[in-house]
């Protein structure tokens, strides 16, 4: 949890900008089609791109369900949140 809080602190200006877009019913960012493994390719509203590797999460709590690759590939973006 401390890592998440530290990340939020580092990115609070970007998060606020994304929240403003989401609150005005604009799509804050898109998720491109999932890659072959447990990664997400993210495109943010400021034009930045990134790949997030979810593999380190797959052995913890609620994330264990995502070990099923077909289920993992159902991920979508809903108002700036991966669901």
From the CB of residue 72, how many other CB atoms can be counted at a distance below 10 Å? 18
Contacts of 34 (CB under 8 A, 6+ apart): 40, 41, 72, 73, 75
pLDDT at 60: 86
Give the phi and the psi of residue 49 in degrees, each rounded to 5: -125, 150
pLDDT at 2: 64
Residue extents of the structural domains in the chain: 2-82
pLDDT at 32: 54
Residue range 47-73, pLDDT digits in tens: 888 888 888 888 988 888 888 888 888
pLDDT at 81: 72
């Amino acid at each position: 949890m401390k890592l998440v809080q530290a990340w939020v602190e580092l990115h609070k200006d970007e998060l606020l900008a994304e929240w403003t877009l989401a609150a005005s019913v604009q799509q804050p960012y898109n998720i491109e089609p999932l890659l072959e493994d447990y990664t997400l390719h993210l495109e943010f509203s400021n034009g930045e791109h990134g790949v997030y590797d979810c593999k380190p999460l797959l052995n913890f709590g609620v994330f264990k369900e995502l070990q099923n690759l077909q289920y993992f590939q159902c991920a979508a973006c809903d108002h700036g949140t991966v669901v």
